Amino acid sequence: MANSDNQLTRILSIALVLGSLLFIFLAEMSHLKSKKEITTDETIYIQDGGAISVQDDKELIEKTEEVVSTDLDMLETEQDIDIAQTEQDIDIAQTEQDIDIAQTEQDIENNNWANTTAEDIEYTKPLDFEHITLLVTNMNANERERVLADQNLFKQVIESEANNRSTLMSAASNQLNQHPNVKFMMERNADNMLLEFYLNLLIKRKLPEEFPSNEQIIAYYESNKETQFTFPLRARIWQIFLPKPKDASETEILELQQKAEEIISKIKKGTNDFSNLAVSQSQHEQSKNRGGYMGVMEVDGLLPEIKEHILKSKVGEVSDPIETDTGLHIIKRGTILAEETLAFEQVEDQIRQLLIKQTGMQLKNAIFDQAREDYPQQISESIIEDWWLKLKDEINP
């Protein structure tokens, strides 16, 4: 029994190592292209009625255009893109005949690429030139160019593949690839890769190379300028929040006010700074660990008492305790950001990517609809409910 437990532990350990190495390799290859990172923080909006909501802070502190690159991906717009005829044109049955992508037809003719079951994969075969050739050939153009232009980078790719192959061989020697659950997940991953490849081919075929046109981009900008590309008056705000106890008595409120006054006194005397006191005293969890920083906030969305202080105070000025229904707020005002509308040139690229993404999703849904029509799946509401009830009983008794 002990040997069996040890063998199981060894197999699971190898599986964990295998998964980690594969993840590291994929991450390494995806980062061969240089990309700008966009960092975001939370913005906590103090709203009317005492409610506090959290949104993504787009770091509009100094460069408001940084907002657009992250905001656009979150928008669910109703842009009218005429792809009705494109959807009607999709013919899945004939796709293989006329997709014009380099070497795709040659690969399909061989059919060996379609052998995706666990039994068909040669885990005992060491790394060789044929494998590396296929690996490099299937990189995107930029990755392939970088790898072949830099021998050290090429060596890193080979070493990573060698690590992966050795670990795969180790896992196979322990017959982990024959475990039913592992086999299912391997085959499902292969299915997902085939699905993604197929969808990309169809979308590439149906999406015109010149899409979206400059006219479409300009039209989108003009029709959404006020709602998506105009930013209202905003301010950077810090706070220390002291909540009122439920059904607080006059004595409890007085004690809370005294505590707030002591905190303000320490700040003004310089015996302690705002950020440190926010960390140690504030009860607003989202902001306290950031030194009380609430983010860039729309002034019109603030509670009236807080809005009044923001509009009349100076940069860096700390308020007296501001009482609201929820508690006492000690507010420090940062920079005021005036209302502005981003110029078309600032958001042109983001709009282009958004339209491509939206249209791609519409095409993908059209492909799914056509596939379900051509290859129907025998499911219904009653079957789904039956499966759900059975799995509930079997897996979670």
- The residue ranges of every structural domain in the chain are 2-31+63-220+350-395, 43-52+233-338
- Torsional sign, CA 104, 110, 114, 118: negative
**Residue spans of the chain under pLDDT 70:** 1-122, 396-397
Q: What CA–CA distance (Å, rounded) separates 77 from 128?
A: 49
pLDDT computed for residue 40 by the predictor: 37
Helix (H) or strand (E) holding 93, with range, is none
- Residue 286's SS3 state is helix
Pairing of strands 52-57, 327-337: unpaired
Which tens digits make up the pLDDT trace of 3-34? 444 454 555 555 554 555 555 445 445 444 43
pLDDT computed for residue 85 by the predictor: 43
pLDDT computed for residue 67 by the predictor: 36
Which tens digits make up the pLDDT trace of 354-388? 999 999 999 999 999 999 999 999 899 999 999 99
Tell me the average pLDDT of the chain.
Answer: 77
Has this prediction a pTM greater than 0.85? Answer: no
Place of tokens 């995806």: 30
Q: What CA–CA distance (Å, rounded) separates 199 from 193?
A: 10
Q: Other C-beta atoms within 10 Å of 52: how many?
A: 15
Distances (CA, A) of 326 to 1, 242, 257, 309, 355: 61, 9, 13, 17, 43
C-beta pairs of 150-155 under 8 Å, 24+ apart in sequence? 153/32
Contact 94, 375 (CB under 8 A): no
Is CATH 3.40.50.720 correct for 43-52+233-338? no
pLDDT computed for residue 18 by the predictor: 56
pLDDT computed for residue 33 by the predictor: 41
Contact 235, 334 (CB under 8 A): yes
